[in-house]
C-alpha cells in the first residue's frame, strides 16, 4: 500500500493469474472489440481534465490507453488510480481494443480492470530535465532506469544485432565459440594493468585477454572465437577505456595477418549490413546513417604514417606508439588499418615480419636505438638504425582516431617465442603451462581482438564508452 498524499492510497497487487496476451507491436485493428491484457510501465501521461491518455511501454514500444472520468464507479476508480500513479510505475491493464485513427497503431485500449504491480514512489531525478544537461554519473547511479530511455534502448537493440551477426558470420565461416578462464595465474601480455585477486591461498589475476588460450585452441579446433569480458586496470580516466570490456576474440589456424584482416573487413561489412536490415527504426530514432563502407579498408603502414607525422611532429621517433590525437590530421573519419608495427611495441607472441630479420641478431636488436642529442643527429641515427627496424606482422583497425581492434600473425615456433620472451624480460617459467604445447605441433595462426564497446561507439557516434555498456566499470566506479 502506498500513501501518495493525505487522501490517496494506492494498493500494489499481485500478478496472480494475469498474463500479458499481447506485446505492443502485436496490437492492431483486427482485435477491435476484443479484451486483451497488456503490461508494462507508464512512459507518459497526458491529463485533459476528464480524459487521461497514458502511454504504456513494454520492451517493444508504447500502447495508448485512454480513460474517461464518467460513467460507472469502476471507471472512475481506474481513472483516479491512473491519474495518481507516477510515470515508471508498472501496471497491467485488461481492456478493450477500440479504434483510434489518430494513434499510430489506429487503435487504443480502454481499461476494464487494472492491476498496479509496482508503484513508482519518486519522480525520476534526471528524466524531468533535458538529458544533455545531466552528467553521466548521475544517470549511472540509477542505471536501470536510465536504460529505459529511448536513446539507450536504441543503442542496446543495435548492440544485440551486432553480437548476433558476429556469431552468424563466424559460425558460417567454420568457427566455433569457446570460453577460456577468466581467473589466471600469469599476465598474458606480461605487463601491468592487471587486477590481482585471491585464489584460495594464492595470488591470481583477472584475465586481460584470452590470448594464449585462444592460440592454444587453434591446435584443437583451428578456428575459434570468444565473446567475453577482458579486465584491465586502466589507470586513467578517458572516454574510451573501461576496466571491464567485452572483447570479440578471433583466432584462425593456417593463415597469417592478411587473411584475418580480410576476415575482419568482411565481418564489419556483414555487421553493418545486418544493422541496416534489422535496425532501421533505431537508426532513424538516433538520426544516424551508417557509413557506406568499401572493403578492403585502406591499409597504411606504421612506417609511412610515422614519416608523414614527422613533418609536423619532429619529436616522433620510429618505434614510438602513435597517439590517436596526432593522427587526426592525416586520417579520415572511417575505417582503416595501421599495419606492420615495430615488433618492440607488440607483445611477445607477435610474429616478426621476416624470421630472418631477427634470427641471428644480437639481443636488444628488436628495439630501436633512442638518443637525446640534436634532431639532425637523431635523423642520422634513425637512418643508421633503419636496417635494424624490425617490423611485425601486425595491425590495428582504426575508426578515425579510435582503435577498434589489434591483431597479428602469432609465433608458433617455440624457440623464437622463448627468445622473444627473454628480450622482453619475461620469466619463462611462469609461462611453462603455455610453452609446453608448442612441442606438439601448434599450427601457424593469426587473430585479433575487437573491442565491442569501441566498435559500438564508432558506429553509433557515442561520445562516452560508458553508454555502450550496461554497467560500466572504471577507476572510480564499482557500483551499481
Ligand atoms: P588502447 O591502446 O586503445 O588502450 P590496447 O592496444 O591497449 O588499446 P588491445 O590490447 O590491443 O588494446 O586490445 C584489443 C582491443 O580491445 C582494443 O583495440 C580495444 O578495442 C579493446 N580494448 C582494450 N582495452 C580496452 C579498454 N580498457 N576498454 C575498452 N576496450 C578496450
Ligand atoms: Mg591494441
Question: What average pLDDT does range 304-324 have in this prediction?
Answer: 90
Residue 419 lies in a domain: yes
92 and 209 both lie in a single domain: no
Q: Residues 326, 327, 332, 336: what is their CA dihedral angle, to the nearest 10 degrees?
A: -160
pLDDT tens for 320-358 read 988 877 887 778 789 999 999 999 999 999 999 986 655
pLDDT greater than 90 at residue 5:
no
A 10 A CB-CB count for 46 gives 11
Which residue, among 59, 67, 117, 55, has the nearest Cα to 91 in the 3D structure? 117
- Which atom of ligand 1 approaches the CA of 448 most closely? 14
Q: Residues 178, 184, 190, 191: what is their CA dihedral angle, to the nearest 10 degrees?
A: 100
Residue 476 lies in a domain: no
What pLDDT was estimated at residue 174? 98
30 and 91 both lie in a single domain: yes
Helix axes 452-460, 150-172, angle to 10 degrees: 120
What backbone phi and psi angles, to 5 degrees, belong to 108?
-145, 175
364 and 454 both lie in a single domain: yes
108 and 203 both lie in a single domain: no
Residue 421 lies in a domain: yes
Residue 153 lies in a domain: yes
330 and 372 both lie in a single domain: yes
What pLDDT was estimated at residue 366? 42
In this prediction, residue 376 has a pLDDT band, given cuts at 50, 70 and 90, of very low
Kindly report the average pLDDT of the chain as a whole number: 90
275 and 401 both lie in a single domain: yes
150 and 113 both lie in a single domain: no
What backbone phi and psi angles, to 5 degrees, belong to 388?
-90, 0
Of the listed ranges 42-56, 292-306, 379-393, 445-459, the least confidently predicted one is: 379-393
Out of 231, 242, 245, mutate this one to test ligand 1's pocket (max ligand atoms within 8 Å of CB): namely 245
Tally of structural domains, the chain: 2
Residue 336 lies in a domain: yes
pLDDT greater than 70 at residue 133:
yes
Question: What average pLDDT does range 184-191 have in this prediction?
Answer: 70
What pLDDT was estimated at residue 303? 95
What pLDDT was estimated at residue 383? 46
DSSP letter at 207 equals -
CA angle 262, 267, 271 (to 5 degrees): 150
105 and 155 both lie in a single domain: no
Contacts for 329 with CB less than 8 Å, ≥ 6 apart: 312
What pLDDT was estimated at residue 358? 57
Is the distance from the beta carbon of residue 453 to the nearest atom of ligand 1 less than 6 Å? yes
DSSP string, 77-118: HHHHHHHHSPTT-EEEEEEEEEE-TTSTTSEEEEEEEEEEEE
What pLDDT was estimated at residue 130? 66
Question: What average pLDDT does range 263-282 have in this prediction?
Answer: 98
In this prediction, residue 114 has a pLDDT band, given cuts at 50, 70 and 90, of very high
Question: What average pLDDT does range 436-451 have in this prediction?
Answer: 97
Q: Which residues pair with 228 in a beta bridge?
A: 247
In this prediction, residue 289 has a pLDDT band, given cuts at 50, 70 and 90, of very high
Residue 136 lies in a domain: no
What pLDDT was estimated at residue 372? 33
Last residue of a domain, one of 118, 153, 188: 118
Q: Which residues pair with 423 in a beta bridge?
A: none
251 and 328 both lie in a single domain: yes
pLDDT greater than 50 at residue 269:
yes
86 and 167 both lie in a single domain: no
C-alpha cell read off for 71: 460513467
240 and 385 both lie in a single domain: yes
pLDDT greater than 80 at residue 94:
yes
Run of H or E residues at 227: strand 224-231
Task: Residue 230: give the domain boundaries.
Answer: 144-468
Q: Assign residue 75 the CATH number of its domain.
A: 2.40.50.140
Is the distance from the beta carbon of residue 468 to the nearest atom of ligand 1 less than 6 Å? no
Out of 451, 467, 474, mutate this one to test ligand 1's pocket (max ligand atoms within 8 Å of CB): namely 451
Nearest-angstrom CA–CA distance, 71 and 50: 11
Residue that is written with C-alpha cell 575482419 in the block: 264
Nearest-angstrom CA–CA distance, 147 and 468: 11
Q: How far is CA 327 from the centre of its chain?
A: 23
C-alpha cell read off for 442: 601448434
Residue 473 lies in a domain: no
Nearest-angstrom CA–CA distance, 56 and 448: 44
Residue 134 lies in a domain: no
Run of H or E residues at 161: helix 150-172
What pLDDT was estimated at residue 430? 86
Is the distance from the beta carbon of residue 87 to the nearest atom of ligand 1 less than 6 Å? no
pLDDT greater than 50 at residue 291:
yes
In this prediction, residue 365 has a pLDDT band, given cuts at 50, 70 and 90, of very low
What pLDDT was estimated at residue 371? 32
CB 149 within 8 A of CB 129: no
C-alpha cell read off for 252: 584462425
Q: Assign residue 459 the CATH number of its domain.
A: 3.30.930.10
pTM: 0.91
159 and 226 both lie in a single domain: yes
Is the distance from the beta carbon of residue 264 to the nearest atom of ligand 1 less than 6 Å? no
Amino acid at each position: 500500500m502506498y500513501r501518495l498524499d493525505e487522501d490517496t492510497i494506492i494498493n500494489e497487487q499481485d500478478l496472480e493469474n494475469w498474463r500479458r496476451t499481447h506485446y505492443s507491436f502485436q496490437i492492431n485493428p483486427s482485435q477491435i472489440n476484443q479484451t486483451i491484457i497488456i503490461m508494462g510501465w507508464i512512459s507518459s501521461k497526458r491529463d485533459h481534465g476528464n480524459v487521461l491518455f497514458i502511454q504504456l511501454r513494454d520492451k517493444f514500444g508504447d500502447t495508448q490507453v485512454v480513460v474517461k472520468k464518467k460513467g460507472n464507479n469502476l471507471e472512475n476508480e481506474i481513472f483516479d488510480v491512473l491519474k495518481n500513479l507516477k510515470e515508471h510505475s508498472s501496471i497491467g491493464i485488461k481492456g478493450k481494443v477500440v479504434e483510434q485513427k489518430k494513434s499510430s497503431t489506429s487503435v487504443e485500449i480502454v481499461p476494464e480492470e487494472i492491476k498496479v504491480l509496482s508503484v513508482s514512489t519518486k519522480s525520476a531525478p534526471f528524466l524531468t530535465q533535458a538529458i544533455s544537461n545531466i552528467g553521466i554519473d548521475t544517470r549511472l547511479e540509477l542505471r536501470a532506469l536510465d536504460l529505459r530511455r529511448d536513446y539507450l534502448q536504441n543503442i542496446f537493440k543495435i548492440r544485440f544485432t551486432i553480437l548476433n551477426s558476429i556469431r552468424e558470420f563466424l559460425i558460417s565461416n567454420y568457427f566455433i565459440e569457446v570460453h577460456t578462464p577468466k581467473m589466471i595465474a600469469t599476465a598474458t601480455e606480461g605487463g601491468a594493468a592487471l587486477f590481482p585477486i585471491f585464489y584460495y591461498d594464492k595470488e591470481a589475476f583477472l584475465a586481460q585477454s584470452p590470448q594464449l588460450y585462444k592460440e592454444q585452441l587453434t591446435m584443437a579446433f583451428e578456428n575459434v572465437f570468444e565473446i567475453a569480458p577482458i579486465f584491465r586496470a586502466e589507470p586513467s580516466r578517458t572516454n574510451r577505456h573501461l576496466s571491464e570490456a567485452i572483447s570479440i576474440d578471433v583466432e584462425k589456424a593456417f593463415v597469417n595477418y592478411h587473411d584475418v584482416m580480410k576476415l575482419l573487413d568482411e565481418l564489419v561489412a556483414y555487421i553493418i549490413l545486418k544493422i541496416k536490415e534489422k535496425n532501421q527504426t533505431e537508426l532513424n530514432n538516433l538520426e544516424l546513417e551508417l557509413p557506406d563502407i568499401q572493403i578492403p579498408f585502406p591499409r597504411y603502414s606504421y612506417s609511412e604514417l610515422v614519416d608523414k607525422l614527422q613533418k609536423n611532429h619532429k619529436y616522433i621517433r620510429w618505434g614510438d606508439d602513435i597517439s590517436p590525437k596526432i593522427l587526426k590530421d592525416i586520417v579520415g573519419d572511417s575505417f582503416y588499418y595501421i599495419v606492420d608495427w615495430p615488433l618492440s611495441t607488440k607483445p611477445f607472441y607477435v610474429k616478426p615480419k621476416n624470421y630472418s630479420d631477427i634470427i641471428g641478431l644480437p639481443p636488444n636488436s628488436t628495439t630501436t636505438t633512442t638518443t637525446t642529442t640534436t634532431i639532425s643527429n637523431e635523423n642520422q641515427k634513425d637512418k643508421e638504425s633503419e636496417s635494424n627496424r624490425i617490423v611485425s606482422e601486425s595491425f590495428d583497425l582504426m575508426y578515425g582516431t579510435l582503435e577498434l581492434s589489434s591483431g597479428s600473425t602469432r609465433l608458433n615456433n617455440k624457440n623464437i617465442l622463448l627468445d622473444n620472451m627473454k628480450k622482453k624480460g619475461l620469466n619463462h617459467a611462469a609461462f611453462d603451462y603455455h610453452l609446453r604445447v608448442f612441442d606438439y605441433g601448434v599450427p601457424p595462426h593469426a587473430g585479433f581482438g575487437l573491442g565491442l564497446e569501441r566498435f559500438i561507439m564508432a558506429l553509433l557516434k557515442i561520445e562516452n564508452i560508458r553508454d555502450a555498456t550496461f554497467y560500466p566499470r572504471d577507476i572510480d566506479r564499482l557500483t551499481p
